[in-house]
Amino acid sequence: MGRAHDHETRQRRLEEALQQSEQRFERLVEAAKDYAIFMMAADGRVSTWNEGAQRLFGYEEAQIVGEDGSILFTEEDRQSDAPERELQKARTEGRAEDERWHVRKDGSRFWASGFVRPILDAEDNLIGFSKVARDLTERKRAEETLDDVRLAERERLARDLHDLVLQDLTYAWVAAQAYYLTRKEEEEEGALNLTEILASLRRAAQGLREAVYELRAAEAVGRALARAVEDLVALERRRSTAAMEMELAIQEGVPRKLPEEVCKGVLLVVREALTNARRHSSARRVRVVLGATEEEIWVEVSDDGVGFDPRQSTEGVGLSAMRERAAQLSGRLEIFSEPAEGTKLRLRVPRPS
């Protein structure tokens, strides 16, 4: 009786485990329909094609098997050898993954995430690749829409600060200065108070200008860094005197896309350096150079102005702020200067992977 009961119990547990396994397998198969899963031979030609791949890319199995997998990439990616580099990375590193635009049979594009793994035989010889991809177009559109909303709100806030608050503050400063000039001989005590008021208004106006620029610097996110630096130099040219010549040189290899904190940080350091040169250097020539290596992004701002001795100079707020931004980017700020020999400032930032 006991043995029969134990047998029935084991049989029931086995059936329950089998049922659970079948249910998990069914869920896995159902979930796989949302993914394109296919295999490629060692030369990159498609060898298998699942239902999810057919639905995602639009090709039926008979239409795609035997075709080069690069047909699923955009024209610009094919021209840059992105399909070959993806397979090479998978072959050498064991896995390659990214998010990029892909192309359907009808020519439409969609944003997808995916990864590729090599398929090896028992002796570790490459026999092909497996690839899994998932459509992220809706997420991409939602992110872009959110970015647009953020940028629009930043621009609105910057515009309001500039057109309303800053204008009123500037008017108050000008009016207070005029009053100070007319009354300072009559009321020395009041003149002293006005001096403090003027200094306070001037600091507030400068702080607002800095805030407005920082808000607008965020607009550079998503644009090429080189273009953003060009715009900044053009703005500083308009602010500088006719006697100051401002040059810009952009070397090859500067990445087009950068994380927001890197792009914004580089721009703000360059802006501060140009502002210092315009206000304090008495320079006739200012030069900005932007470049990159495989390890870092760098920018130099140099001038032929009065210069200073860094060993004897007490750092002002601007220079301290630049050092702080460099530290936030895990970068390094270098300053080279001598009295009457001009100044060179160099920012080095690790290149994002």
* Domain residue ranges of the chain, discontinuous segments joined by +: 33-135, 138-220, 221-353
Report whether 351 contacts 297 (CB < 8 A): yes
β-strand pairing of 109-120 with 343-350? unpaired
The angle formed by the CA atoms of residues 94, 127 and 112, to the nearest 5 degrees, is 55
The Cα 144–Cα 128 span in angstroms is 36
Which residue carries 């200073």 as its tokens?
A: 308
3 state SS of 304: coil
Which residue shows structure tokens 């029931």?
12
Residue 40: predicted pLDDT: 93
Which ranges of the chain does DSSP label H, i.e. alpha helix? 2-32, 51-57, 61-64, 75-79, 82-93, 137-160, 167-183, 188-217, 225-239, 260-280, 317-328
Domain 221-353 has CATH 3.30.565.10: yes
CATH class for the domain made up of 33-135 = alpha beta
Task: Report yes or no: 244 and 286 within 8 Å, Cβ to Cβ.
Answer: yes
The token pair that represents 308 in the structure block: 């200073």
Q: Nearest CA to 92 among 129, 132, 46?
A: 129
Show the tokens assigned to 62: 């008979």
The torsion angle over the Cα atoms of residues 84, 90, 95 and 99, rounded to 10 degrees, is 0
Tokens standing for residue 317: 């707020």
Residue 29 is predicted with a pLDDT of 46
Question: Nearest CA to 277 among 187, 345, 227?
Answer: 345
- CA atoms of 255 and 244, how far apart (whole Å): 30
- In angstroms, the CA 289 to CA 301 distance is 7
pLDDT in the model for residue 350: 94
Evaluate whether 132 touches 114 at the Cβ level (below 8 Å).
Answer: yes
Cα 74 to Cα 95: distance, rounded to the nearest angstrom: 21
Instruction: Please tell me the distance from the alpha carbon of residue 41 to that of residue 65, in angstroms, as a whole number.
Output: 10
Give the closest residue to 227 by CA, choosing from 190, 261, 267: 267
Report how far residue 249's alpha carbon sits from residue 272's, in angstroms, rounded to the nearest whole number.
18
Each of the 353 residues of the chain gets a pLDDT tens digit; together they read 555 556 576 667 656 655 665 455 445 445 555 688 899 999 999 999 988 899 899 999 999 999 999 999 999 899 989 999 999 999 999 999 888 889 999 999 888 888 999 998 888 889 899 999 988 877 776 666 656 656 665 666 666 566 656 666 766 677 777 766 666 555 555 454 666 666 667 766 666 666 665 555 555 544 578 888 887 888 788 777 667 899 999 998 888 778 878 888 898 899 889 988 888 889 999 999 999 999 999 999 999 999 888 776 655 556 777 888 889 889 999 999 988 899 999 999 999 87
Going from the C-alpha of 111 to that of each of 103, 258, 273, the distances in angstroms are: 9, 19, 39
CA pseudo-torsion sign 227, 232, 233, 234: positive
Pair 82, 100: CB distance under 8 Å: yes
Between CA 86 and CA 127 the distance in angstroms is 16
The residue type of 235 is L
Length of the chain: 353
Residue at 224: amino acid letter:
A
The H or E element that residue 300 is part of is strand 296-303
Burial 192-209 (b: 16+ CB within 10 A, else e): eebeebbeebeebbeebb
* DSSP assigned state of 331: -
> What pLDDT does 62 receive?
93
Distance between CA atoms of residues 246 and 194, nearest Å: 37
Task: Output the pLDDT for position 213.
Answer: 58
